[in-house]
Amino acid sequence: MIELPQDADLKPLTWHGARWADGRRTANMACSHGHVAGLYDHDIAGDGTVTPSIVCPVEGCDFHDFVRLVGWVG
C-alpha cells in the first residue's frame, strides 16, 4: 500500500478532495505517471484507506496499487 499526501495541484502520487452533486465526499488522485483518476467507484475509510485497489484509467498505463489518502478526514 502506498500513502498519498494531499495536494491541490495533483502532482503524481497526490490527491485532492471532491464532492458529488449531493454533497457526499470523494477524491481525485494522480497516478505515478500523473494521470488523474476519480475515486467515485471506490470506498474511502475514515483513515483514508481506499478500496478496491486503484487502476489507472488511461490505456497503456501500468499503475495499479492499494492506496491510503494521508490527511483524509472521514
Looking at residues 21-47, what average pLDDT do you find?
93
Looking at residues 21-29, what average pLDDT do you find?
89
User: Which band of pLDDT confidence, cut at 50, 70 and 90, is reported for residue 24?
Assistant: confident
Longest dimension (CA), the chain: 33
d(CA 51, CA 23): 20
Looking at residues 45-65, what average pLDDT do you find?
96
- The per-residue pLDDT for 2 is 93
3-state secondary structure of 46: coil
User: What sign does the dihedral 57-72-44-17 (CA atoms) show?
Assistant: negative
Query: Is residue 56 packed enough to be buried (19+ CB in 10 Å), middle (13-18) or exposed (0-12)?
Result: buried
Average pLDDT across the chain, whole number: 94
